[in-house]
Amino acid sequence: MDEDEARHRFAAGRVARLATVDGNGRPRVVPCCFVLEGDRVYSAVDEKPKRSPDLARLHDIAANPNVTLVVDHYEEDWDEVWWARVRGRARMAGDDEAERAKGLLRAKYPQYEDHQLARVTVVDVTEVRGWAARRAPG
């Protein structure tokens, strides 16, 4: 799959898996809602119940900003299996960028209209790759 197709499939995904590395070098993977705009991926910490508002993934990013996000599709017909991966460096959004990101996230996920979106994570994309068992038509 070429980069444009990987980018398209990634952007259309509804949930990504965010991989970070903690301060001890251990990997951590969590699902997240996201939006891709240009060479940035935005994701927000929302008000859904969590064990703590002090999220481990945010500590991981502070310790090591290198992250990977994966969107994938699985079917029993393995000709339909694919994945798209984004690698980059994560950081917390500043106020103006966070407000813009919240608008983009609310446009993609109507559920966010009724949710507080607190901190916004930005991934500055450095690589987009993908694989598909079969090439997309066209």
Residue 91 belongs to some domain of the structure: yes
pLDDT recorded at residue 119: 87
Residue 59 belongs to some domain of the structure: yes
Residue 8's nearest CA partner among 93, 89, 86 is: 86
CA–CA gap between residue 52 and residue 109 (Å, rounded) = 23
Contact 14, 55 (CB under 8 A): no
Report the CATH number that the domain containing residue 20 is assigned in CATH.
2.30.110.10
pLDDT recorded at residue 136: 65
- Please give the residue range of the domain that contains residue 45: 3-132
Residue 96 belongs to some domain of the structure: yes
3-state secondary structure at position 94: coil
pLDDT tens track for 32-88: 999 999 999 999 987 655 555 568 899 999 999 999 999 999 999 999 999 999 999
Residue 137 belongs to some domain of the structure: no
Residue 97 belongs to some domain of the structure: yes
Q: How many domains does the chain have?
A: 1
Residue 72 belongs to some domain of the structure: yes
Bridge pairing between strands 40-46 and 117-132: antiparallel
3-state secondary structure at position 118: strand
pTM of model > 0.75: yes
pLDDT recorded at residue 42: 98
CA–CA gap between residue 109 and residue 44 (Å, rounded) = 12
Residue 138 belongs to some domain of the structure: no
pLDDT recorded at residue 23: 87
